[in-house]
Amino acid sequence: MDISHGELTAFLSAANKVTYADREAPKAASLRPASEDYHFEEGDLAYHDTYFGARDFIGEEVVYKAGTPVWGMNYYGRVLKEDVSTADAYKILRPALMQEYTDIIPVRGPREYTLENSTYKNEVEGDLSYFSGIEEIYLDEELVYRCWYHGGTIK
């Protein structure tokens, strides 16, 4: 089953804002031991994000159309500096992921976002059908976090 680029773009933009990026979004029932999960449905589309860890983490997002997986993304990230708390490193992450943007594919946040002394940067190659990217967080212009991600359509 295929999904159009426009339908996937709109759905991912909505799903990202009502799951992890939203601090108050309810978590879904954990599907695997010790996982953190989010789930969102709209029409015949469903989104599921599951991850493990906090300071160092790994996860996966999958979009289903009529119960068939049609798109996915894997990611691994970590706080790079031992003396930086996760609270300090991540204080910009959720606000960055909530931003409206059209200058990059909707799989994380915008190209750049600044909040107080934090800067979020996101670079990606490819399109929603096949992509890879890196997001980074800087505190006082020092790199403190990096997340690698990749994914695309599932057929």
- Span 57-73, pLDDT tens digits: 999 999 999 999 999 99
Give the model confidence (pLDDT) of 26-43 as tens digits: 999 998 999 999 999 999
Query: Residue 140: left if φ>0, alpha if ψ -120 to 50, beta else—which one?
Result: left
- Split at pLDDT 50, 70, 90, the class of 4 is very high
- What 3-state class would DSSP assign to 10? helix
pLDDT on residue 23: 79
Domain boundaries, the chain: 5-153
Torsion angle of alpha carbons 113, 20, 128, 40, nearest 10°? -140
Residues facing 58 on adjacent strands? 52, 76
Give the model confidence (pLDDT) of 100-148 as tens digits: 999 899 999 999 999 999 999 999 999 999 999 999 999 999 999 999 9
pLDDT at 1 over 70: no
DSSP symbol at 30: P
